[in-house]
Amino acid sequence: MKLMPRRSARARTTPAAATGAHAIGFAALASVALGAVAVGALAIGALSIGRLVAGRVRIRRLEIDELVVRRIRVTEELTTPSTPDPGSVIETSTSPARKEFDRVHN
């Protein structure tokens, strides 16, 4: 049985030349690019969350406005006097203000 010769431990390690200026520059550029992608993802996430919050606030304002309008309508219905029939005659000559008006202007 013939065994294959083993390579020395020195041959399996990366040579020192691989960690030169180009490798360090590439690592720096890669880390900057990764950081830019992370910041962009955070910005997009913040914008989408901001839009959700703004949309909820807008919907809440519309709901409140609608409730206020309904409340005003109900209040107007409860407080407005009933309108007289179109064919009825309103007697105004007996009111003191009408008598005073007639006295001054006639």
The per-residue pLDDT for range 24-70, each reduced to its tens digit, is 889 999 999 999 999 999 999 888 888 888 888 888 888 888 888 88
Domain extents for the chain?
45-79
Q: Which of 61-65, 73-77, 83-87 has the highest mean pLDDT?
A: 61-65
Claim: this prediction has a pTM higher than 0.75: no
Residue 17 has pLDDT above 80, yes or no: no
Spatial separation of the C-alpha atoms in residues 61 and 68, rounded to whole Å: 10
Please spell the DSSP secondary structure of 41-54, one letter per residue.
HHHHHHHHHHHHHH
Residue 28, pLDDT score: 92
Residue 66, pLDDT score: 86
